[in-house]
A and B are shown apart, each in its own frame.
Chain A
Amino acid sequence: MTGDGTFALAALLLHALAFLVLAVVAPLRRLGRPAAWFSILCAAGSLVSALLAWQRHAGDAMSRLVWEWLPAQGQTLATVGVLADAESTIMLTLVALVACLVQVYSLGYLSDEPAPSLGRYYAYQSLFAFSMMGLVLAPNFVQLFICWELVGLCSYLLIGFWYYKPEAARAAVKAFWITKAGDVGLLIGIVLLWRQSGTFDLTEMRVLVDNGALPLAGLSLITFCIYLGAVGKSAQFPLHVWLPDAMEGPTPVSALIHAATMVTAGVYLLLRTEWLFALTPDVLLIVAWVGAFTALLAASLACAQDDIKRVLAYSTVSQLGYMMTAIGAGFAAAGFFHLLTHGLFKALLFLGAGAVIHAVHGNDLPQMGGLARRMPQTTVVFLVGTLSLAGIPLFGGFLSKEEILGAVWAGGLTGPFVLLMMVAFLTAFYMFRVVFLAFFGTPPARDTHPHDPPMTMALPLWILAALSLGVGIYFAVAGPALPFGPAEHEFTSPDWLMPAAVGAAVGGILLAWLTYQRRAIDAATLASALGPIRHAALRRFWMDDLFEGVYGLGLLGFSRLIGWIDRYLVDGVLNVVSAWTVTSGDDLRTMQTGRAQDYVYGVALGLMILLLWVRWALA
């Protein structure tokens, strides 16, 4: 059984089973809670399978199971299956873990949801987990793209879960369209790459690249197109605008899809094809700069948000930028490490925020305050997540962040490195702004008697908190030796790096403490000092307006023009032809007077013409 991919396949298929049963057996779905338990059971089984798969493949044992999916000219054009190796199984475990915890958590969070609606929710959740695992285990670009689109679909369905809310319906299509715009690039990239290499298969293509058999001409265009897909999915500038709006979905969805798993698919894609991107350093440079810029832009936007989920959403965008920068610097393993730790603590933060929202019935930070005394458990776990995100030693995000900063420095990208250091400072600042505003400080006048969440919600929180902390401590003891990634990608960080990064984080915390806890610095003064930037940040740097304009005026306007042309010019010509036919018929009808004399004149005229013609012809 060792290394034959069966466990990975089982993890994948269990979620497929859950989805199929919930989708087809409508009576079970409408029961709500039993459907949820069925789905959770499958998710738990999937988690066990994923853990076993991880254990089997943690070394170098790679295995592939494929079946024909599309034939062409009597041969196989595309396959489906699983490619289980160290990278994919560890990612699989993360997905299985967060999916399982989120499903348990949702049981408490959505306890007020009507039964049929709850069943629908769990059907979507299972479909998502299945698709995400299919993406992670994809042995070729076709399956990758299939699952890539399917997770996008689940994202659309779950953002729009409460479709009767206008904002949710809007956010759902916005997310779909904007990620789809990136997918246009991805699809083009895949088609071009297929033509260039003659295969969709990752393993075969890797062999071609290692042997230097892949033609390099035009490869930059191809990798850039593939990167565009990652830009959409992983919310890189300028396609980042959908992610904050995606927060209209239920909070557990935000935790699973829009923080821990789906949005990291772009990073994962680049990681899986790093050997391809390594051939095109020019594209990698773009990846790094866009990543760093996205990180800074999103971090600055996060500082200006009053909605707790939006702060976390921009924070996700910012951290995705971090990972992308590391990949752009040529050290994909560092980005992947951060992806994994980020998956844990960001899921924790979102679920913690969900507990708060559940308790105070609102997302607004100014409406919260002093929750530490009412919700001690939530406060502790949220703090663990915050410290991880801020990159404080011993917490989960510390080492992975150091790795990224070291990688970017080692890659010689000074510009992005400086941007990322600024982001480290801002990250600590905006996260502690949330902590001080929500959990400390004075409670608002309108008191809703918040309390810690029920067991189904608390348990996942504690597990994630323990893991975030455990990962941090484990790596602090064992050293940052990653259990994956090629050895030649090792680098040594300069000695001043760690103190500098921790210093930036502590500085951010200090500023937040002075501003929002001690009130030594007036928040309003701080805001006015940053006047224009703050104004721009409140307007989201006009990016959303830009997209709105392109869509509303550009696209819809242009489509109306085409529609008008079609109706009134293209079809108009046709109508003119038929109108002429009818009119000339009408006109010619007047010749049919019905008087015998007229006809005799006509015959005489015709005869005369005929005679003249005969004479002319004979002459």
Chain B
Amino acid sequence: MNGVPILSVMTWAPFVSALAIMFFARRRPMLVRWTSLAGATVSLVASLWVYWAYDRELAGFQFREEIALVPSLGISYLVAVDGISALMALLTSIIIFSGVFASWTVKERSQEFYALLLILVTGVYGVFVSLDLFVFFLFYEIAVLPMYLLIGIWGSSAEVRPQGIFGWAMGRTGVGTKEYAAMKLTLYLLFGSAFILVGVLALYVATGSQTFSFLTLASMEFDPALQTWVFLAFYIGFGILAGIWPLHTWSPDGHASAPTAVSMLHAGVLMKLGAYGFVRLGMGLLPDAAVDWAWLVGTIGCINIVYGALSAMAQIDLKYVIAYSSVSHMGIVMLGVATLTPNGLNGAVFQMFAHGIMTGLFFALVGLVYEKAHSREIFKMGGFGAMMPGIATAFTVGGLSSLGLPATAGFPAELLTFLGAWSSEYRWWLFPGVLGAFLTSIYVLRVAKQIFWGPESADPHFQNLPDAQGPEWAALGILVFVLVLFGVAPSLAIGPVDTATIPLLFRLTGQ
């Protein structure tokens, strides 16, 4: 495979198929789907290859490609992967591959829908593989912006009653509509990326405006004062996308309004962009500040875990439950990162992967349930287990993974994070973490019991509902399989990730 720019193939294949869809597949919905599937398949194969061929003995950044773009400013197209980004790229591939199947039934303007989706995915891959901060930022924006159209056009609205002391403002902004959700998500994330841009430029200037290359920047020692404020800027900027409390409120509305595949991608992969960017830039470039501010990151992570779980428990709309569970699970990621221990960091990266798959599965299932039952109201549905055993089983597996049940990917991730927490400087972080896992078991199984494993609802709308069909099975099957596979054999993921966390932590703590 030498000589094949495998990372570029992986990154640009979705983009090329998006172009193909726009130019050649007008009014031919089946062609749209097959073209998208082809693009996603190329990326999947490429990322599997990268993951498999990544040399763990050698470690470091591999599959490097470099093309100078603007030499005078030090901007170049520099892509490479290490253990963490290889796993994240694999996650992206799995989600988009099953996302294509999950949106098979989109009727309205499917051509534009798929094209935007694929462009977004190219942005995601680009963020994971680029090592040039300027290009990184470009990809980051590409990943965020199509969301506005995807939610605004293909989204769905929810009912939210304005009340409380700020009720007037809610009425004014149109809470609950898909337009509101799309606008809120986009503005919030762009607000965050402004912080990132400022941080990136500050580092660029501090090095004498020579290069945007991550590799060069990572070998510099920045001034502590500069580190502090750039670190905090990165924390806010990436943190918004990672859903840190209290900057998370775009996530429930956004995820609930987005169409199925978009929720899958957004909660499954885009939130990971935030955590990934934070680890890569925040910790990789600013080690001193990362150590100094770990207390803040970890503590807010703990708040996320417990607060997100309790909020999820209070929801009556199925999609909101899943969205808040993402807020809770991203807390585990941030907690693991903040422990600054090998186990904690491995756990955090594993949790990014595990949560990506499980939340992708969840949103796919919610989409299916909505499509069959035309309802997202948990307490109106009931007893679907007998009518749709496949969907019910997949939901249960996802739920079990979410509560950290062994033999699903959620368990090793949480275990490693907890081990890290207790080895860290702030041992008490362990307790909110474990409590969060317990609360998750309550809200997830409560929902599963109400909708699937309980007495049948008397509502005539919910009689004789079909199970998943055709391409839908593909999405569920892949995600469930991956979830169980990585739970049974976690070393599949931890192996490569471990090679990347060792040097990172060495820089941070000297161990």
> What is the CA–CA distance of A177 and B502 in the complex, to the nearest angstrom?
37
- Contact present for B166 and A569 (CB under 8 Å): yes
Contacts of B60 in A (CB 8 A): none
Contacts of A474 in B (CB 8 A): none
> What is the CA–CA distance of A177 and B173 in the complex, to the nearest angstrom?
40
- Contact present for A568 and B491 (CB under 8 Å): no
- Contact present for B166 and A559 (CB under 8 Å): no
In the assembled complex, how far is the CB of residue A581 from the closest CB belonging to chain B, in whole angstroms?
A: 10
- Contact present for B407 and A146 (CB under 8 Å): yes
- Contact present for A164 and B491 (CB under 8 Å): no
In the assembled complex, how far is the CB of residue B201 from the closest CB belonging to chain A, in whole angstroms?
A: 25
In the assembled complex, how far is the CB of residue A154 from the closest CB belonging to chain B, in whole angstroms?
A: 11
In the assembled complex, how far is the CB of residue A570 from the closest CB belonging to chain B, in whole angstroms?
A: 5
Contacts of B441 in A (CB 8 A): 176-177, 180
B366 on interface, CB distance cutoff 8 Å: no
> What is the CA–CA distance of A578 and B246 in the complex, to the nearest angstrom?
16
A184 on interface, CB distance cutoff 8 Å: yes
B434 on interface, CB distance cutoff 8 Å: yes
- Contact present for B498 and A73 (CB under 8 Å): yes
Contact of A73 among B310, B422, B449, B502 (CB under 8 A): B502
> What is the CA–CA distance of A560 and B346 in the complex, to the nearest angstrom?
34
> What is the CA–CA distance of A282 and B120 in the complex, to the nearest angstrom?
60
CB neighbors of B among A111-151 (8 A): 142, 145-147, 149-150
A467 on interface, CB distance cutoff 8 Å: no
A555 on interface, CB distance cutoff 8 Å: yes
- Contact present for A556 and B313 (CB under 8 Å): yes
Contact of A570 among B246, B346, B434, B454 (CB under 8 A): B246
B478 on interface, CB distance cutoff 8 Å: no
A221 on interface, CB distance cutoff 8 Å: no
B24 on interface, CB distance cutoff 8 Å: no
In the assembled complex, how far is the CB of residue A272 from the closest CB belonging to chain B, in whole angstroms?
A: 18
- Contact present for A173 and B445 (CB under 8 Å): yes
Binds A, one of B12-20, B37-45, B229-237, B412-420: B412-420
A582 on interface, CB distance cutoff 8 Å: yes
- Contact present for A559 and B449 (CB under 8 Å): no
Taken residue by residue from 469 to 493, chain A's Cβ proximity to chain B (1 for < 8 Å, 0 otherwise) reads as 0000000000000000000000000
Contacts of B342 in A (CB 8 A): 72-73
CB neighbors of A among B352-408 (8 A): 383, 385-386, 400, 403, 405-407
Taken residue by residue from 163 to 189, chain B's Cβ proximity to chain A (1 for < 8 Å, 0 otherwise) reads as 111111110110100000000100100
Taken residue by residue from 169 to 181, chain A's Cβ proximity to chain B (1 for < 8 Å, 0 otherwise) reads as 1101100110011
- Contact present for B307 and A169 (CB under 8 Å): no
- Contact present for A173 and B446 (CB under 8 Å): yes
- Contact present for A164 and B167 (CB under 8 Å): no
> What is the CA–CA distance of A164 and B446 in the complex, to the nearest angstrom?
15
Contacts of A184 in B (CB 8 A): 434-435, 437-438
- Contact present for A180 and B166 (CB under 8 Å): no
> What is the CA–CA distance of A571 and B430 in the complex, to the nearest angstrom?
28
Decide: A191 near B418, CB < 8 A? Known: A176-B445, A563-B314. yes
- Contact present for B169 and A576 (CB under 8 Å): yes
Contacts of B456 in A (CB 8 A): 164
Taken residue by residue from 46 to 68, chain A's Cβ proximity to chain B (1 for < 8 Å, 0 otherwise) reads as 00000000000000000000001
Contacts of A560 in B (CB 8 A): 314
Contacts of B430 in A (CB 8 A): 188, 191
Taken residue by residue from 146 to 177, chain B's Cβ proximity to chain A (1 for < 8 Å, 0 otherwise) reads as 00000000000000100111111110110100
Of chain B, the residue at the smallest CB distance from A67 is B491
In the assembled complex, how far is the CB of residue B240 from the closest CB belonging to chain A, in whole angstroms?
A: 11
CB neighbors of B among A179-236 (8 A): 180-181, 184, 187-188, 191-192, 194-195
- Contact present for B502 and A568 (CB under 8 Å): no
In the assembled complex, how far is the CB of residue A60 from the closest CB belonging to chain B, in whole angstroms?
A: 31
Contact of B314 among A72, A177, A181, A559 (CB under 8 A): A559
> What is the CA–CA distance of A191 and B347 in the complex, to the nearest angstrom?
14
Contact of B172 among A149, A187, A582 (CB under 8 A): A582
Query: Chain A binding site: helix, strand, loop or mixed by DSSP?
Result: helix
Contacts of B435 in A (CB 8 A): 184
- Contact present for A177 and B407 (CB under 8 Å): no
A558 on interface, CB distance cutoff 8 Å: yes
> What is the CA–CA distance of A574 and B431 in the complex, to the nearest angstrom?
30
B94 on interface, CB distance cutoff 8 Å: no
- Contact present for A160 and B453 (CB under 8 Å): yes
Decide: A194 near B419, CB < 8 A? Known: A145-B406, A568-B166, A568-B167. yes
Contacts of A181 in B (CB 8 A): 438
A609 on interface, CB distance cutoff 8 Å: no
- Contact present for A579 and B313 (CB under 8 Å): no
Contacts of A147 in B (CB 8 A): 406
Contacts of B383 in A (CB 8 A): 164
B114 on interface, CB distance cutoff 8 Å: no
B299 on interface, CB distance cutoff 8 Å: no
Decide: A582 near B449, CB < 8 A? Known: A72-B498, A180-B441. no
Of chain A, the residue at the smallest CB distance from B405 is A149
> What is the CA–CA distance of A149 and B412 in the complex, to the nearest angstrom?
13
Contacts of B423 in A (CB 8 A): 195
In the assembled complex, how far is the CB of residue A566 from the closest CB belonging to chain B, in whole angstroms?
A: 5
Contacts of A72 in B (CB 8 A): 342-343, 346, 416, 494, 498
> What is the CA–CA distance of A163 and B200 in the complex, to the nearest angstrom?
55
- Contact present for B314 and A579 (CB under 8 Å): no
> What is the CA–CA distance of A92 and B246 in the complex, to the nearest angstrom?
51
Decide: A573 near B405, CB < 8 A? Known: A169-B449, A559-B313. no
- Contact present for B313 and A555 (CB under 8 Å): yes
- Contact present for B173 and A153 (CB under 8 Å): no
- Contact present for A77 and B167 (CB under 8 Å): no
In the assembled complex, how far is the CB of residue B209 from the closest CB belonging to chain A, in whole angstroms?
A: 34
In the assembled complex, how far is the CB of residue B441 from the closest CB belonging to chain A, in whole angstroms?
A: 5
Pick from B310, B400, B411, B495 the residue with the most CB of A within 10 Å: B310
A166 on interface, CB distance cutoff 8 Å: yes
Contacts of B453 in A (CB 8 A): 160, 163, 169, 172
> What is the CA–CA distance of A163 and B455 in the complex, to the nearest angstrom?
7
Of chain B, the residue at the smallest CB distance from A76 is B491
- Contact present for A165 and B315 (CB under 8 Å): no
Contacts of A145 in B (CB 8 A): 406
- Contact present for B412 and A191 (CB under 8 Å): no
> What is the CA–CA distance of A304 and B109 in the complex, to the nearest angstrom?
67
- Contact present for A558 and B310 (CB under 8 Å): yes
A499 on interface, CB distance cutoff 8 Å: no
Decide: A68 near B405, CB < 8 A? Known: A142-B415, A184-B434, A563-B310. no
> What is the CA–CA distance of A195 and B343 in the complex, to the nearest angstrom?
12
A610 on interface, CB distance cutoff 8 Å: no
B311 on interface, CB distance cutoff 8 Å: yes
Contacts of A555 in B (CB 8 A): 313, 442
> What is the CA–CA distance of A142 and B416 in the complex, to the nearest angstrom?
11
Contact of A582 among B165, B173, B434 (CB under 8 A): B173
- Contact present for B166 and A74 (CB under 8 Å): no
Task: Give me 4 other A-B pairs in contact (C-beta within 8 A), A70-B490, A74-B502, A150-B405 excluded.
Answer: A191-B422, A195-B422, A564-B164, A578-B187
Shortest 4 CB-CB distances between A and B: which pairs? A563-B314, A572-B166, A568-B164, A146-B406
